[in-house]
Amino acid sequence: DTDENEIKSIQAEWDQKKTKAHVTGKSSKLDYKEGKMFWKSMNGDAFTHVIDYKDGSLVIKTEGYYFIYSKIFYGQLDCKTSAKGTFKHSVYKSTRWFPGDLELMSSKKYHCSNDKEDMLDNSFLGGIYHLKEGDQIFVKVNEKILIRLQSTSQNFFGAFLI
């Protein structure tokens, strides 16, 4: 029984040291610049641990393989009078090893493809990527106006070292 408790204690301590971050959408207003999403990095469910948050990006401090994820809740409340189009949600990486931003994963979906009264949907992205120290990962969307912010649980972004 003592060995089992010691193992649980070591496991809990190790879990606390894991490199991880989870940032959430701001429910009061959406920060957005040239398609890039900005997030709340503290309070509520948001946190960073051995990953920094800077200007909408998660900044990697430890090289390794990371599971990266992002969820966006979006929609149009009146498709009969709204413009139709495509909603794109992407996760990018910026690295000193390559000029420009590299798209890691993306999702595209038509919105208001018919004349329904409204259209609400979720886009979820997730994948495993090798990141180096100093790499920055961030989320972009092409249509800010479609993003719905009713709670911080509906829009989020994160990564953890595996």
Is there a contact between 146 and 75 (Cβ–Cβ < 8 Å)?
A: yes
Range of the structural domain that residue 78 is part of: 2-161
Q: Which amino acid is at 50?
A: V
Q: What is the CATH number for 107? A: 2.60.120.40
DSSP string across the chain: -HHHHHHHHHHHHHHHHS-EEEEE--SS--EEETTEEE-B-SSTT-EEESEEEETTEEEE-S-EEEEEEEEEEEEES-TTTSPPEEEEEEEEEEETTEEEEEEEEEEEEEES-S--S-EEEEEEEEEEEEE-TT-EEEEEES-GGGB--S-TTSSEEEEEE-
Q: 93-125: per-residue pLDDT in tens?
A: 999 999 999 999 999 998 777 666 778 899 999
What digits encode the pLDDT tens for the residues 115-154? Answer: 667 788 999 999 999 999 999 999 999 988 888 876 788 9
Q: How many domains does the chain have?
A: 1
pLDDT digits (tens, 9 = 90+) for 70-95: 999 998 877 766 667 889 999 999 99
Residue with tokens 């200007």: 55
> pTM score, two decimals?
0.85
Q: Which residues contact 30 (CB under 8 A, 6 or more apart)?
A: 37, 38, 144, 147, 149
User: CA 107 to CA 70: how far, in whole Å?
Assistant: 11
User: Token pair 């595209």 is at which residue?
Assistant: 108
Distances (CA, A) of 50 to 17, 29, 78, 134: 8, 27, 43, 12
Rounded Cα distance between 145 and 134, Å, is 31
